[in-house]
Copies of this chain bind each other. A is one copy, B any other.
Amino acid sequence: MSGAIEEGKGKAIEAGRSGAILVVGLGPGPDCWVTPEVSEALARATDLVGYIPYVNRCPVLEGQVRHASDNRVELDRARLAIDLCRQGRTVAVVSGGDPGVFAMAAALMEALDADPAARDLDVTVMPGVSAMQAAAARLGAPLGHDFCAISLSDNLKPWDLVARRLTAAAQGDFVIALYNPASKARPTRIFEAFDLLRSLKSAETPVAFARAVGRPDEAIVLTTLGAADPGVVDMATLVLIGSSETRLVERPGATRPWLYTPRSATSTAS
């Protein structure tokens, strides 16, 4: 596997032991957002498979093998987990956030879909805290009512489909969480997305750029759709765009107001 790094000598595998794949998420940053279920899975795994920075966040255990790989090789990682499981190993496939939200669970399912002989393997997916939830908690309650999550990456889908979904999200007046908003390979997509949303939604719509929430370099920008500078967005940024009901609550002495979407809505106007 290109870019793979393997460490550790490997735990002894019991004879005849059947393997397992544990698909886990570490949450967006601090250990206090890792569920006990996931901590237990990491402790009993013989092998860790994942993107380098996520594997690096896992506790180092004597005898556990760490298969850390570069970005954009999700299917290779899933196939490696399947191979190791067939050898009787207990493999934790590690994502940040929730493995079920724009992460490794779908890649593993794709690998199983393509490999019928692997479908009787013992696979467990474990939920976790996703980036939009961490951002929402820090901001107040912007996801307090109907919302959608869209990946801006067009590596695996045509941009037309992204644009269609942004348009539908605006027409439905959803709160919008944007994942994978920018990268070196496609730095202009976030500008295109904002141009499209500006043509469909009020310039006064609240917008938050929530970068690395829960990590030491956390940085949050609260702005509006009209005033926002998408140039500040990077791949560690979760972008939240309000519905027509999303509002600010000014706070004396705080660095910024609360941002929230009320549970009630009075208007159906688009």
Contact = CB atoms under 8 A, between A and B. Distances in A.
Nearest to A252: B120
3 closest A-B pairs (Cβ-Cβ)? A106-B144, A168-B172, A148-B148
Interface stretch (A9-17, A32-40, A188-196): A32-40
A97 to B, nearest CB: 10
Contacts of A74: 263
A120 B253 contact: yes
B144 A105 contact: yes
A180 to B, nearest CB: 11
B145 A151 contact: yes
B106 A261 contact: yes
10 contacts: A36-B36, A99-B141, A100-B137, A119-B250, A119-B258, A120-B252, A128-B129, A146-B165, A156-B264, A167-B172
B146 A150 contact: yes
Interface of A: 23, 27, 30-37, 40, 74, 98-103, 105-110, 112-113, 119-120, 123, 125-130, 133-134, 136-138, 140-151, 156-158, 160-161, 164-165, 167-169, 171-174, 247, 249-254, 258, 260-268, 270
Contact of A127 (B129, B144, B171, B266): B129
Nearest to A258: B109
A74 B146 CA distance: 18
Nearest to A270: B164
B164 A35 contact: no
A10 to B, nearest CB: 27
Contacts of A40: 32
A260 B106 contact: yes
A152 B94 CA distance: 34
A27 to B, nearest CB: 8
A127 B137 contact: yes
